[in-house]
Amino acid sequence: MSNNTLILGLQWGDEGKGKIVDALAENSEIVCRFQGGHNAGHTLKVDGQQKVLHLIPSGILHPSVQCVLGNGLVLSLPALEKEITELEQSGINFNDRFYVSGDCALILPTHIAIDQVRDKSEGIGTTGRGIGPAYEDKVARRAIRFGDLQNMTLLQPRLEKLIAYHNKILVHLYAAEPIPLEDVLKELESHQHLVQKFHCITQDLLRGWVKENKKMIFEGAQGSMLDIDHGTYPYVTSSSTTAGGLSTGLGVGPKHIDSILGITKAYTTRVGEGPFATELFDENAAQLAKIGHEVGATTGRPRRCGWLDLKALETIVFINSVTSLCLTKLDVLDGFKEIKVCIDYDDQGAPIYKTLPGWKQDISYIRDFHALPQSAQDYILFIEHFLECPIDIVSVGPSREQTIYKK
């Protein structure tokens, strides 16, 4: 792996980024997140134990790895505290190895209330966790940020004004109940200790690490097809999930990114509403969902399933300047006699498929590319050729060891 690697999901999220970051973190020194919030759900399976991380970088399970939440995140303090507490109870140490940018915009109870009532009327299918409204306040220059909690006296007048604005939206636009200012203040004050313990000027920290030539992983959340600019708008998330989001969300310039690893499932899934060209509604969809355990790690909602869309991935690979690929959940295709991939769309936007032979053989125990059934090898090579990008890593199961390093 290169010195500094950006790891991104190339679909609509749930590609298996957490497992791959966790696996590669073993040979890295720092793992940083740069966008999103606790709407992410990175599932790791280590020594038979499953952990789902929503905010904490996936490198936290490696004791020597430093972890950073960059300025591009929106932060729920209760969610952060809960995740830290659960990990500490399982023996994970956070002291002197976990840092949070003071510039992270906070998710307040009013953001969550607005998100939930709005989605009922608009039907976007958000996680209802306040992510979008928090980003709205950030862009409108009225956000409360993590570092602001260092001085509650200075913060209170701004907070009063913001909560009054939010309550006008709730009451007058959505006929919902207002959120008392006292409840918001109580939540912030009860989590002030997080600022005292983890607050950091992360740009200074990162600049120092770059000068020291430390090995860093930049961990993306959600997926590129959910990007606010390049995704299936308006059915997108509210942050920049593509490669450009790293520089703005962490304060690290492009020249410090040595390689970009794009992660895609061997098929396609999506949670929530929005277009999905290769979505299936037959027994193949049911089989993918059942074998792939396709339930959202964050929401618990069932994922929609379909064949791999190479035409969409072609665009996403270009947007992100992906240098290599990781193909996950290849083992989920073990039981299929035939596998389809979308290689283009017709004039009505319907997918044009190429059909490839399946392998109907358990590959979850295989650790060498050349030991895979020939049809599985051919499937991988076809994707490589179409996308003009090498597949260096293939995942054949949820555990760390169920990984093939092809390069």
| CA nearest to 263, candidates 330, 325, 329 | 325
Q: Select which of 14, 22, 137, 227 is catalytic.
A: 14
> Regarding the domain delimited by 4-102+197-260, which CATH topology (the fold level of the hierarchy) does it fall under?
Adenylosuccinate Synthetase; Chain A, domain 1 (3.40.440)
Residue 187: partners with Cβ closer than 8 Å, 6 or more residues away: 77, 78, 108, 109
| CA nearest to 102, candidates 66, 140, 149, 143 | 149
Neighbour-count burial for 120-133, b at 16+ CB within 10 Å, e otherwise:
eeeebebbbbbbbb
Could you tell me where the DSSP H helices lie in 50-130?
77-89, 109-122
Decide: 206 and 72 in contact? Cβ < 8 Å: no
Decide: 166 and 159 in contact? Cβ < 8 Å: no
Decide: 221 and 267 in contact? Cβ < 8 Å: no
Residue 389: partners with Cβ closer than 8 Å, 6 or more residues away: 262, 317, 322, 323, 324, 325
The reported pLDDT for the residue numbered 298 is 61
Residue 111 among the catalytic residues: no
- Say how far apart CA 29 and CA 20 lie, in whole Å: 15
The reported pLDDT for the residue numbered 297 is 59
The reported pLDDT for the residue numbered 21 is 87
> Regarding the domain delimited by 264-405, which CATH topology (the fold level of the hierarchy) does it fall under?
Adenylosuccinate Synthetase; Chain A, domain 3 (3.90.170)
The reported pLDDT for the residue numbered 44 is 67
Superfamily name and number for 105-193: Adenylosuccinate Synthetase, subunit A, domain 2 (1.10.300.10)
Task: Find tokens 């980003």 and name the residue.
Answer: 135
Q: Select which of 22, 38, 42, 166 is catalytic.
A: 42
The reported pLDDT for the residue numbered 109 is 97
- Helix (H) / strand (E) element for 33: namely strand 30-33
Name the residue type at position 392: D
What parts of the chain have a pLDDT lower than 70? Answer: 1-2, 42-49, 296-299
Give the tens place of pLDDT for each residue, 261-273. 999 999 999 988 8
- Say how far apart CA 15 and CA 4 lie, in whole Å: 21
Give the tens place of pLDDT for each residue, 243-292. 999 999 999 999 999 999 999 999 999 988 899 999 999 999 999 999 99
The reported pLDDT for the residue numbered 47 is 62
The reported pLDDT for the residue numbered 46 is 60
Residue 42 among the catalytic residues: yes
| CA nearest to 190, candidates 200, 182, 178, 179 | 182
Could you tell me where the DSSP H helices lie in 96-169?
109-122, 131-139, 152-168
> Helix 152-168 to helix 109-122 angle, to the nearest 10 degrees?
20
Residue 41 tokens read as 């759900």
The reported pLDDT for the residue numbered 84 is 94
The reported pLDDT for the residue numbered 77 is 97
Enumerate the domain spans of the chain: 4-102+197-260, 105-193, 264-405
Task: Find tokens 């002197």 and name the residue.
Answer: 96
Q: What is the pTM of this model?
A: 0.92
- The reply to whether 264-405 shares the fold of 4-102+197-260 is no
